[in-house]
Each structure stands twice: as structure tokens, then as C-alpha cells.
Chains A and B, each alone.
Chain A
Amino acid sequence: MSILRYAVYRFGTMLLTLLVVSALIFLIINLPPGDYLSNQIAELRASGQSAGVAKAEFLRKEYALDRPLWQQYLIWIGFIPGPQGFSGLIQGDFGWSFEFDRPVADIVGESLWLTVLVNLAAVLFVYLVALPLGVLAAARSKTWVDYTSAFVGYLGLATPNFLLALIMFYYGHKYFDLPIGGLMDPIYEGQPMTWDKAKSILIHLIVPTFVIGTSGAAAMMQRLRANMLDELGKPYVETAIAKGMSPPRMLAKYPLRMAFNPFVADIGNLLPSMVSGSVLVSVVLGLQTIGPTLLTALKTQDQFLAGFVLMFVALLTLVGTMISDLLLVLLDPRIRYEGRDA
């Protein structure tokens, strides 16, 4: 199977998964009894404001909330026509946020690419930190380098990252004068991209990247170290040393390449946990990503907003996993996948 055909196949499975995921998400969001509007109607009735009730009833009809759940789902996705014809996720209509009284697309707007940016930066951080440290820990195993990195790694795994975020913010501000909170200076919010704005975002990214990436980097480092140690015991390493290769060159040329595969494949495990971590950290740090939006949407049962954010997060994860699978095939031609005649 050529790489292209594999890519198409992988893309197909991703779409199918996304479909199942959308059903799952819709179900979970509708688990709590009632919805935003019926809660509002009950509240308005209780306080005797009948004027608002009519509007809420109208909105309920408008967004098909009075129909059975399975129809609501199909309308939301865009498979069957709703009150305004086909207008679901696949038609690019993300729905209406009742809480903010604005279209979902307006609310999430800029935060979508900021979410992608934060997660990309964190993935880069994981690789940049884990690669040298993992190799170093394996090459100098059972020395202080190894022990220190193992200790830091364990600590990184064990500290809840929202707490790490607070502590890093505090000390980062105290000693390095790093900015606190947000992803950019407030003056740049809603402004078009300029050089200064990009610089401000970069500086604000330091702490979140570190916080989101730490546990992933720790796990990745330990795995790379274990892989490298396996490879270092093999005869070809001994041969290379016996022939007089310098250790750094030898490491880079042979064992590292062998140990590298799982490193790339691992992104499938890494990404879901990092995306979840980033949602939590964004809430604590007040980043303008979709994390805080998700939390408010879930708390107020603002179902279209919550549904869209969850779908976006799932999409981000699935696309990342797909890219890692494709990379893996490019890296290692020996890997074959089902679909070829066995």
C-alpha cells in the first residue's frame, strides 16, 4: 500500500471515529436533566416574568429543543433539516450560545487558534526537553545525571499541573518578571496581528508551555531512556565502540534511530493527555483558549457551545494522532498496516 493510500484510509477511519465521538459527546452533554432554555423558562415562571417566557419558548422551537433527542442530534450534525433547513456542524453552522446570546462561532473565534498554538508549543517543548534528557540519562545511566533526571521526571508526573501553574506563575513573576495570566497583554486583545502582539504572546506562552508539557516530557523521557538502554546493550553498539567511533556520533548514528520509533508513535498517547491538561491549565491561568469557555458552558448547560468545544478538542486530538501515524510510516518502512493482502 502506498503512503498515499494509507493516508486516505487513515483519514477515512478518523472521520468515522469523529462521527461516533460526536454522538458520544451529544449524549453526555444531554445527560443532565433539562436544558438551558427549559431551566430559564422555569426560573422566569417562578419569578413571574411571563414576557421572557415567550422568547425562550420561541428559541426552544427555533433550535429544535422540543424534538426527540435523536432528531436533535441529527440536526446538530446537519444530517436532517432543522427549523432553518440544513444548518449543522458539517454546514459550518456551530449553533447558538444561549448564555452569551451570540453565535458560537463568534465566541470561540480567536481562542481556537490560540488553543492550537498552546498545544503545539507544548508538544514542541516535550520533544525538545525529552529528547536530549532521555538520551543523556541512558548514555550516563546510573550516574547523577540519570538520577537527577529521574527524580525531576517523577516529580513532574506527580505534581498536579494546575498547582504547578500557580507556583510557576508566582515565582516566574517574582524572579524573572514573567507576565501573569492570559496569553497576551490586554492591549492587544482583539487587535490584528502585529509584530509586538506576536512578541507578547510568545512571552506569555512560556509558563503555560512549561506547565502543560512537564508531565508529558517526564513520561516521554522515561520511555526514551528505557528504549535507549535496551539498544545500548546490543552487540552492534559494542562493535561501533570497538572500531573507535566517538560516543556522541555512535549514539546519534545507531541506537537513537532505533529508539526513535516509539518516540513518534507515542504522540497518540501524549496528545489526548496534553489537550486535557491544557484545558485545565487554561482555566487556572486564565488563558484565552477554549478551556475556560468549556467550563462555563458545561456549568450552565449551554449545550451548543459545550458540544462544539468538546468536538473541537476531540478533532485536535484525532488529527494529531493521525499525523503521528503517518509520520511513523514515513520513518519506518518496515511498518505495514492492515488493508494489504496478508
Chain B
Amino acid sequence: MTELPDGRYVDDEPFDPKANIQALERRDLDAPNRVLVWRKFKQHKLGLVSGIFLLFCYLILPFVGFVAPYTANERNSDYLYAPPQSVHLLHEGKFIGPFVYPTVAEADLVTFQWKFVTDTTRPMPLQFFCEGSDYHLAGLIPSNRHLFCAPEGATVFLWGSDRLGRDVFSRILYGAQLSLTVGLIGISVSFFLGIGFGSIAGYFGGKIDWVINRVIEILRSLPELPLWLALSAAVPSNWGPVAVFFIISIILGILDWPGLARSVRAKFLSLREEEYVRAAEMMGASSGRVIRKHLLPNFMSHLIASATLSIPAMILGETALSFLGLGLRAPAVSWGVMLNDAQNLASIEIYPWTAIPMLPIIVVVLAFNFLGDGLRDSLDPYAD
């Protein structure tokens, strides 16, 4: 690189005027598919940001106990329906690091509600890496260390507290563990069934195809939610929260597979006529091997994109079921269970912060949608 006197930069490489500027570089032509996909995906800024955000969300799941200042079912009976507190940095113009003002609950004898009075004369700095209530890191390692917690004599309810005085912020973090994994388990079930039935129908055709196709049509024409309701009403109420959680996600998956199976079948119908399939069959490959090794890899990426797009529906489904009291039940914590508290207009009006769990739902669902769109656009790197 040479800098000219007038401030421009000129490349020192020899210039070949005859070279074809349209020709792709050898490097690009030989690049493996995933490099090309990644290169194209990077251009889809919204998808990239959403992907990073979701990755961060899922990575943090095992460590929510550390990040959250309280545990999920820890009650503060002195602070029922406490409004959100903000973390300040400056007290009377002086910087003293992150701190909160202590609040005191007072009974309001006119409205019969607790009124929370903030004492703005005493800043109380937050403690970091402090000892608090016990939890299990990643569900295994017992610990009581928290990233931050309230100083003695004060509380830190970033997003307020609920009916029983539990911290909404901490509960949202704990709720993410269930709400975010419901989609993953459900989609695995749906993937398994969808690919299984779809490929059998598409590859073998004939009677099997007809039967599977009718089943798909019937399931697709049914309104999902009443069926979800009916199926989850069938879950015995004496089962533990973990069992209910698995059953709910499996139910969500069982009703989701027909869409996937249909697209798999359509692809198989066209792909099974390809020459490489005939070649593989002639060399004695079994049907299972042809399906797994020769056909499925062809459009696995498309399947992943469509799976990404159907996870949001499952997250919303879990929320709806739990909201109605047919899905997860307390003491399990999920976003839907939390929203159960915000079920009536009174709480929306008087305690609007109990509806805060809807924000993470909206954000996560949007992120999955954007990520799915980005993946879908970039999975075929050879298309223009």
C-alpha cells in the first residue's frame, strides 16, 4: 500500500488489465458449503444478532441460579407486590457505584394495598459475588454464591415482586429454563416423527403413502389448541413437575410433526427419482441406508431452518397451556405459569409488572423468527 501525496492509497500489487474480474476466485469455488452458508448468513444482520442472542440465552440457562439474586420460590412476606426498584449510580450528585434505596411497606388504609415508600436518604450499595440462598449450579453443583444480591436490610427487586413476594426478575431467569427447553424437546419429537413418517411416505409411495398422507391431512385440519387442552387435561394431576414438563413438550411435538412430514415427503417424491439414488439401490444399499445417507443430507439444512421457525409456536403453546392452568403447575416456574398471576385486569392495572414475563416471550419468539428467516435465506449459497 502506498500513500500518494494527495492522501489517496494505491495498491502495490501488479495490475493485470486482461484478467476477468467476473471470475470467482478458486478459493471461493472450493470452499465447503458451510463456509459459504456462514458467509451469506453473516450478511443477514438481524438473523445474526438474533442467533447470537439466542445462543447467549441458552448458554446462560445452567447458570441462572448464579445470575439471579434470589431463588425461584424464595418468599419475602414483607414485600408482596413490591414495585420494580431501580439500581442507581449517583447519590446527591456523588458517584458511589451501583446501589439501591431501601423501601418500607406501609399499609394504605384507604385502598387496602401495601404502599412502598422509598427512603432516598440512605443509599445501600449492592453486593457482588455474595452469599445468598442455596441453589444447584447446572442442577448438580450445590452453591450459594450469587452474582449480585441486596445489601442487608434492603431488597433488590429489579422487576418487582409478585403475589407471594417472590422476585419477578429471578423467576423469569428460572422460568427460562423450562420455557426455552420445551421448544427444543418438542421440536426433537416433531423432527423424529416428521422425518420418519415423511420419508417412509415419500420413499415407498403407494398404500403407505396414502395412509400417512390422510393422517397428515386430518391432523393438519384440526384446531391445535383444543387438542392440546384435551391432551394435557389427560395428564394425571399427581405427577411431578418434571414428568408433566416432559409430557407437555412431547404433546406439543406430537401435534406439530404433520407440517414437517409434508415437506419431507414432497422432497422425497422428487429426489427418489434421481440417478444417484438408483445407483445406490443397485449397489445393494438398503432402503434405510439410502434414506439416511443419500437422501436426508440433501435437505437437512432446510429442515433445520423450518424447525427454527416452528420452535416459537411451541414456546407460545406452552405459555398458553400453563396460563390456562393445564400445562406446568407451581412449584414449577415457567413464563406461562408466571403469567397466570397476570390473568385478570386488576393485576394489569394495579401491578403491571406481573405481566413482565411477556417481554422475554416476545423477544425470544421474534429472535427465533428472525434467525429462521436468516437461515432460510442463506442455506442455498449458490442461489443468487
Give complex CA distance A272, B233 in Å.
20
Question: Contact: A157 with B221, CB < 8 Å?
Answer: no
Within 8 A of B (CB), among A289-342: 294-295, 298-299, 301, 306, 309-310, 313-314, 317-318, 321
A158 to B359, alpha carbons, bound, how many Å? Answer: 10
Contacts A17-B217, A25-B230: A280 and B316 contacting too (C-beta < 8 A)? no
Bound complex: CA A276 to CA B226 (Å): 6
Q: Mark B197-231, 1 if CB is under 8 A from A, else 0.
A: 00000000000000000100110111111110111
A226–chain B nearest beta-carbon distance, Å: 11
Over the window 271-291 of chain A, the binary record of Cβ atoms lying under 8 Å from chain B Cβ atoms (1 yes, 0 no) is 011011101100110000000
Q: Across the interface, do A317 and B223 meet the contact criterion of CB distance under 8 Å?
A: yes
Given B214, B344, B362, which contacts A155 in the complex, CB threshold below 8 Å?
B362
Q: Let me know if B70 is at the binding interface, CB within 8 A.
A: no
Knowing A28-B227, A33-B236 are in contact, say whether A158-B222 is a contact too (CB < 8 A).
no
Is B218 within 8 A of A310, CB to CB? Answer: no
Q: Is the CB–CB distance between A158 and B369 below 8 Å?
A: yes
B348 contacts partner chain A, Cβ-Cβ < 8 Å: yes
Set of chain A residues within 8 Å of B358, measured between Cβ atoms? 159-160, 163
**Interface hub of B214, B319, B362 (most chain A Cβ within 10 A):** B362
> In the bound complex, what is the Cα–Cα distance between A180 and B361 (angstroms)?
25
Flag if B345 contacts A273 (CB, 8 Å): no
Docked Cα-Cα span, A317 to B227, in Å, equals 13
Cβ–Cβ < 8 Å partners of B217 in chain A: 17
Residues of B within 8 A of A321 (CB): 221
Contact B345 A160 (CB under 8 A): no
The answer to whether A283 and B324 touch across the interface, beta carbons within 8 angstroms, is: yes
Contact A28 B231 (CB under 8 A): yes
Say if the beta carbon of B113 comes within 8 Å of chain A.
no
Minimum C-beta distance from B210 to chain A (A): 11
What separation, in Å, do the CA atoms of A178 and B240 have in the docked complex? 43
Question: Quick check: A162 and B221 within 8 Å, CB to CB?
Answer: no
Interface hits, A1-60 → B, CB 8 Å: 17, 20-21, 24-25, 28-29, 31-33
B221, A29: Cβ atoms closer than 8 Å: no
Judged by DSSP, the binding face of A is helix
Contacts of A20 in B (CB 8 A): 214, 218
Asked whether A17 lies within 8 Å of B369 as measured between CB atoms, the reply is: no
Q: Does B191 contact A (CB under 8 A)?
A: no
Chain B's closest residue to A316 (CB) is B223
Contact of A73 with B by CB under 8 A: no
Least Cβ–Cβ distance between B172 and chain A, in angstroms: 15
User: Hey, which chain B residues are within 8 Å of A310, CB to CB?
Assistant: 226-227, 230
Q: Are A160 and B361 in contact (CB under 8 A)?
A: yes
Q: Which residues of B contact A80 (CB under 8 A)?
A: none
A295 engages B221 (CB within 8 Å): no
**Minimal Cβ-Cβ distance residue in A for B347:** A166
Question: Are the C-beta atoms of B345 and A180 separated by less than 8 Å?
Answer: yes
Question: Is A76 interfacial (CB 8 A cutoff)?
Answer: no
**A284-B343, A298-B229 given; A159·B362 CB < 8 A:** yes
Answer yes or no: A167 CB below 8 A from chain B CBs: yes
Contact count band on A: 35 or more
Given contacts A28-B234, A159-B358, A162-B320, contact A317 B222 (CB under 8 A): yes
Known contacts A31-B231, A298-B230, A21 near B218 by CB under 8 Å:
yes
Does A254 reach chain B (CB closer than 8 Å)?
A: no
In the complex, A31→B235 CA distance in Å?
A: 9
Q: A70 within 8 Å of B by Cβ?
A: no
Which residues 68-111 in B have Cβ within 8 Å of A in the complex?
Answer: none
> With A and B bound together, what is the CA distance between A31 and B361 in angstroms?
31
A154-B369, A272-B221, A277-B225 known; A163+B231 contact, CB < 8 A = no
CB distance from B339 to the nearest CB of A (A): 7
Interchain nearest-CB distance for A309 vs B (Å): 8
Measured in the bound complex, the distance between the Cα atoms of B103 and A257 in whole Å is 64
Q: Cβ of A32 and Cβ of B236 under 8 Å apart?
A: yes
**Chain A, Cβ-Cβ closest to B366:** A158
CB closest residue in chain B, given A314: B222
What B residues does A276 contact at CB under 8 A? Answer: 223-226
The answer on a CB contact under 8 Å between B348 and A17 is no
Residue in A154, A275, A280, A299 whose CB lies within 8 Å of B366: A154
Q: Could you pull out 26 A-B pairs where Cβ atoms are within 8 angstroms?
A: A20-B214, A25-B230, A31-B231, A32-B234, A32-B236, A155-B362, A158-B366, A159-B362, A160-B320, A162-B320, A163-B355, A163-B358, A166-B342, A166-B348, A272-B221, A272-B224, A279-B226, A280-B225, A280-B320, A295-B229, A295-B326, A310-B226, A313-B226, A314-B223, A317-B223, A321-B221
Contact residues of B with A, CB < 8 Å? Answer: 214, 217-218, 220-227, 229-231, 233-234, 236, 312, 316, 319-320, 323-324, 326, 339, 342-345, 348-349, 355, 358, 361-362, 365-366, 369
Q: A17-B218, A31-B234 are in contact. List 11 more A-B contacts (CB 8 A).
A: A17-B217, A17-B221, A154-B366, A160-B361, A166-B355, A167-B355, A170-B345, A295-B326, A298-B326, A299-B233, A309-B226
